[in-house]
Amino acid sequence: MHLEELLQSYVKEFNQQPDSPNELLDYCQRMYVNGELDFHSYRQLFQHLHEEGATSSHNEIETV
């Protein structure tokens, strides 16, 4: 899946554009966890969205 396809899927599901790259990254991660996105596509999208300034909420979780 390419970024444009991810964006179209997001708009189709939510009837609006994402407010930030973070929202699109969250959506991408949810698709991956639900088995709707293969690992290769997930990694490419993850990297591209991080280059666009997205940060994963998983990075903010402290390890105990």
DSSP secondary structure letter of residue 51: H
pLDDT of res. 58: 64
Separation between Cα atoms, residue 33 and residue 17, nearest integer Å: 22
Please count the structural domains in the chain: 1
pLDDT of res. 1: 87
pTM of the model: 0.83
Is the C-alpha dihedral spanning 40, 43, 45, 48 positive or negative?
A: negative
Contacts of 57 (CB under 8 A, 6+ apart): 22, 26
Asked, for residue 44, whether it belongs to a domain, the answer is yes
9: domain range?
Answer: 3-55
Show pLDDT as tens, one digit a residue, over the chain (64 residues): 899 999 999 999 999 999 999 999 999 999 999 999 999 999 999 999 999 999 877 655 444 4
Asked, for residue 62, whether it belongs to a domain, the answer is no
pLDDT of res. 56: 76
pLDDT of res. 62: 45
